[in-house]
Amino acid sequence: MSRHVLRAGTRRVRLLAAASLLAAAALTGCSGAATDGASNADTQTLTLAISAPPNLDPYKANIDLNNIPTVALAYAPLIRMNADRTFTGELAESFGYVDQQNKTFQMKLRPGLTFADGTPLDAKAVVASLEYMRKVSPKAKTWAGTITSITAPDASTVVVTNKAPNPSMRQIFSQAVLSGSIISPAGLADPDQLAQRTFGAGPYVLDAAETVPNDHYTYVANPRYWNKADQHWKKVVVRIIPDSNSTVQAIQSGQVDYAALNADAGPAVKAAGLRHVTASVALVGVVLADRNGTVAPALKDVRVRQALNHAIDRATITKTIFGDFAHPTSQTAAPGFDGYQPALDDRYPYDPAKAKQLLTEAGYPNGFTLKVEAHTPGIGVVTQAVIGQWKKIGVNVELTTDTQVQQWLENVLSRKFPVVGFGYGNLPTYLSSLDFMRPVPNPFNPFATADAELARLLDQAIAEPDQGKQSALFKQAVARTTELAWFAPVVRMDGIGVMGPRTAGVQTTADNGLPSVVTLRPAS
């Protein structure tokens, strides 16, 4: 999921969100899958598995497969994003822009809401929670950076005012990016305790007495939850199992009921014959960052950048590394989001002859050498595969691979590397444009490249009140970025929601594309 220097934290969150999708299965060890879980006969307890300990503070939590489930259990969002990317009310029974410029957003709360601790959940409490979010959440510095004020004109109304058009208020205050999760005044009185206890209005409450941090977290039903029909279990146990193969085995044996896994766990899931659903959750590829030729003059020519795209055999890379749980793509947008266009997935078909022709036309018949930076493990693997294919058209690479995210950030922002391997969680075009398309230094545009036509399209889109027209403008912006070849996207990775026999079948939903744990139901 931090403009200029301050935005490094935000970029780190976004990078970690993508990197966690790639890295979870690479971790080793397992926290005793045979103990501390629910028995097969216990039909009132749901047992989940995640790969690393969660951050219980919803605003500090990274948007990944470890934090999304635990936040959803304890913290109700103001708005819920549905599987089809539409929105319905949760704590807010109605919501929307009240102007024609996407600057003023209003939410009306349901009557009679209370937090799990018994405190009234009114507009004043929501304002206090969202102000804490603006203060501590790295992602808020970018995605909610346009917000100038959040007010409560009465006990049931919250008004958010932006200094510039921001068409993503619905998503920002939904469960999809965690920033709409509301914390009670008791939790805000001492924010340090948010790391050990929960202070939400969600369907469940953390039972600290039955929790062993870093091993398992136990949640019990919240008696004050507003929507009893959505409480399907008396208890939910979240287990930490770092190794995906161990998680698959635990689901097979009935010790775990559900887990969200990465694409590289797909073969094990298929071999075990487990029920599962998939959804696109992240993009992996290469940023052709030095578009003005500052340190790599060849990249200033769009024909060179297009040649590098045509030199990538995306289908082979996807199949070899991820099997059936990923999809080759040439664009930065994902299905279900406003900028996505199916035709752009194959905008740069694998064509080494055309790649060589474009290089020759640009004045590089014998190729050239590039410095490339990547992060391990999954991002580095894809980057190395791309490098091997570029070598076939005469483009040689000096690769630097970092094992720590912070080192990756420092190297990328140093502008010493004209090309960067990257991973990025799927987002609406407005939110991703803040990283991909705007001339602000960040890991996905470290040289702060600008394009007048792209800026014009984005400025029109964010201020357009008609969502159909807005979507068309965002599609044009994604097409423009693709044509400029600012990126060389390679693969759109799936997440895998894996279910045991004690849970009913589910459909994909909007929590990173995978089922929300609060929608899981007993099989009978």
Nearest partner of 203 among 460, 518, 520, judged by Cα: 518
* Per-residue confidence (pLDDT) for residue 12, from 0 to 100: 36
**Residue 239 C-alpha from the chain's centroid:** 22
> Given this model, what pLDDT does residue 505 score?
76
pLDDT band at 9 (very low <50, low <70, confident <90, very high): very low
- Give 209's contacts (C-beta < 8 A, 6+ positions apart): none
Is residue 319 scored above 80 in pLDDT?
A: yes
pLDDT exceeds cutoff 50 at 29: no
- Judged against a pLDDT cut of 80, whether residue 11 lies above it is answered with no
Distance CA 414, CA 195 (A): 34
Least confident of 36-45, 339-348, 399-408, 503-512: 36-45
Statement: residue 5 has pLDDT above 90: no
Predicted local confidence at residue 509, as pLDDT: 57
Answer yes or no: are the C-beta atoms of 61 and 47 closer than 8 Å: no
Q: Which of 366, 362, 488 is nearest to 418 (CA)?
A: 488
Among the residue ranges 36-40, 415-419, 452-456, the one predicted with the least confidence is 36-40
Closest CA to 258 of 20, 495, 21: 495
Please give the average per-residue pLDDT across 331-340, as a whole number.
92
pLDDT at 515: 81
Q: What is the pLDDT of residue 129?
A: 98
Backbone CA torsion sign across 63, 159, 157, 100: negative
pLDDT digits (tens, 9 = 90+) for 365-374: 999 999 999 9
pLDDT tens track for 294-306: 999 999 999 999 9
Per-residue pLDDT, 524: 76
Superfamily of domain 280-494: Dipeptide-binding Protein; Domain 3 (3.10.105.10)
Lowest-pLDDT choice from 24-38, 62-76, 166-180: 24-38
Task: Report the C-alpha gap between 483 and 256 in whole angstroms.
Answer: 46
Q: Is pLDDT above 50 for 28?
A: no
Q: From residue 279, how far is each of 15, 492, 512 by CA, in Å?
A: 19, 10, 8
- Give the model's pLDDT for residue 512: 57
Q: What is the rounded distance in angstroms from the CA atom of residue 20 to the CA atom of residue 267?
A: 19
Residue 163 clears pLDDT 90, i.e. is over it: yes
Measured in residues, the chain has a length of 524
Name the β-bridge partners of 43. none
Model pLDDT for residues 252-282, shown as the tens digit of each residue: 999 999 999 988 899 999 999 999 999 888 9
Beta strands in 6-110 (DSSP E): 45-50, 79-81, 87-89, 92-97, 104-109
Cβ atoms of residues 162 and 105 within 8 Å: yes
Domain boundaries, the chain: 280-494
Q: At 283, phi and psi to the nearest 5?
A: -110, 135
Burial class (CB in 10 A: 0-12, 13-18, 19+), 181: buried
Dump pLDDT digits (tens) for 39-51. 445 779 999 999 9
- Measured CA to CA, the distance from residue 341 to residue 488 in angstroms comes to 16
**What is the average per-residue pLDDT within 157-165?**
97
- How does residue 37 score in pLDDT terms, banded at 50, 70 and 90? very low
Give me the mean pLDDT over the 90-100 stretch: 97
pLDDT of residue 140: 80
| Rounded average pLDDT over 137-161 | 92
- What confidence score (pLDDT) does residue 13 get? 33
CA–CA separation, 126 vs 183, rounded Å?
8
Percent of the chain past pLDDT 70, that is, above it, reads 90
Residues 123 and 190 sit within 8 Å (Cβ to Cβ): no
Task: Grade residue 507 by pLDDT with cuts at 50, 70 and 90.
Answer: low
In 3-state terms the chain splits into helix, strand, coil percentages (rounded to 5) of 35, 25, 40
pLDDT at residue 64, as a whole number: 80
Reported as a pLDDT band with limits 50, 70 and 90, residue 27 is very low
Is 2 a residue whose pLDDT tops 70?
A: no
Q: What is the predicted pLDDT for the residue at 20?
A: 37
pLDDT tens-digit readout, 391-425: 999 999 999 998 888 888 899 999 999 999 999 98
Average pLDDT, the chain: 89
pLDDT band at 383 (very low <50, low <70, confident <90, very high): very high
Closest CA to 147 of 168, 178, 125, 175: 168
Residues in Cβ contact with 408 at an 8 Å cutoff, skipping those fewer than 6 apart:
15, 373, 374, 375, 402, 443
- pLDDT tens per residue across span 306-317: 999 999 999 999
| 200-218 pLDDT per residue, tens | 999 999 999 999 999 999 9
* pLDDT at residue 456 is higher than 50: yes
